[in-house]
Amino acid sequence: MNRILNRMGALLGVVFLLSIADAAVSGYLEPKETVRVVAGTERIASGNLPAKIPSMESLRFEADAPGFGMDFLEVEGTLWRGTIRVDESVAGSDHGAPHRFRVFMDVELPHQRKPPEYTLLVFNSETAYRTSLSSVFEKHLGIVPWWITLGSLPLLLLCFGLSYRSSLAREQRLNQEGMASVFKITRCKEANEVSFGLGLHNGIAEGDSVRILDGNLNLIGMGEVKKTSLDYATAEVSSNLRVKPNFLVAKCS
């Protein structure tokens, strides 16, 4: 069970990191003043004006051809956000038929910088639209990478949480049988040191002999306890003994 959770966690971790990288790279490659949309649909768009926007009612939308419209959703400072609509009558293309639009305020001061113009690429199909995107996730799955990031994060945390609880329960069962997993290995020339989860609470004392078991519970060697604490201990083993983190240490009865 723990191995399955660890593999799922590793897979989700890869997806999580890939989605972040995909969002960052596509955000860098995508021109900030370009909006892509399929004819007959609508798309969220946003931008900034040179001056603070007093209200949504003061905003105006202008396109270079008929068949376009904008429904403003919110404003904050100089930022506006809205839904741009494209009628089915607007001709699109496989590579995106280019149009221009701008958002401005109904009253503009003479010395004020002109608001930016935006490029609107109109596609004739969803397939053509997705093919043009820089995001790998959005191009092949139709999902914005940030949604994958947000969706995979709680699952990733859940897998790690369940894996931790599973490991803790396994370690408690091992302790009841007088065994514990090796969690640290210090390799030296003369002798190696292995640290494990048995201590004074479990009856381990300095100078005790302990058995070293592999993942299949086969005896591979012996060790001598050199350091102890309440819950952990460190034993010295032969430098020729190739101990791995999944190995176990058992008390000698």
- Is 228's pLDDT higher than 80? yes
Residue 39: the pLDDT is: 94
Whether 189 has a pLDDT exceeding 80, the answer reads no
% of the chain residues with pLDDT over 90: 45
Q: Provide the residue ranges of all domains of the chain, joining segments of one domain with +.
A: 177-251
Q: How confident is the model at residue 248 (pLDDT cuts 50, 70, 90)?
A: very high
pLDDT over threshold 90, residue 42:
yes
pLDDT tens sequence across 141-181? 888 888 999 999 999 899 888 888 888 888 888 888 888 98
114-149: pLDDT as tens digits: 888 999 999 999 899 998 888 888 888 888 888 999
| Token couple for 236 | 């010295």
Q: Which residue has the higher pLDDT, 106 or 98?
A: 98
What is the CATH architecture of 177-251? Beta Barrel (2.40)
* pTM for the model: 0.65
Report residue 2's pLDDT band, with 50, 70 and 90 as the boundaries. Answer: low
